[in-house]
Structure 1
Amino acid sequence: MRKLNNRIVKVIKNGKQMTLPVTDEIKLNLGDQYYVSQLDNGEIVFTPLYQDIFSSPEFADLDFSQAEMDFGKFMGEEKLDD
């Protein structure tokens, strides 16, 4: 995990929303989505929202299983399921 120097940011008003600016030290892409939660101690946590590729129509026809591979000769006392 990369440690960043502590930065102080000020909550600003952006239309009807409040915004916490993010410094460019934090690597984000425009359009990334995050779950946001606030802990009992007031700490705000942003967790990346990852796409579930198994339920995405974009990957519906993709076979996620891998073909069995031949790695050559056995090296020791491997047990075979014949």
Structure 2
Amino acid sequence: MSDHSMNVRDARAHLSELITKAQNGDPTILTRNGTPAAAIVPIEDFEALEDAMDAYLARQADQEEDEGGPAVGMAEMVAEIFDESRGNAA
């Protein structure tokens, strides 16, 4: 999977091409003022992320129920998901 980026203005002009690239497994990072802002990704990747987040939330809920611990914030949850997906789990 290659890492391509494009600013939002150019992406508007090439949206159809970017969607085709995503369908072929090639995501594009959209930037605004040089900062990554969003991504056009294959639907399979998006669905896998949703499934992973659902599984993580279910696991967290079960663990919190068992331990009586505090709820985890969204930012902490997303950071942990990405760490796990990169093999950096604590």
TM-score by length of 1: 0.25
Task: Name the larger-Rg structure.
Answer: 1
Greater per-residue helix proportion: 2
Between 1 and 2, higher relative CO (CA 8 Å, sep ≥ 6) is seen in: 2
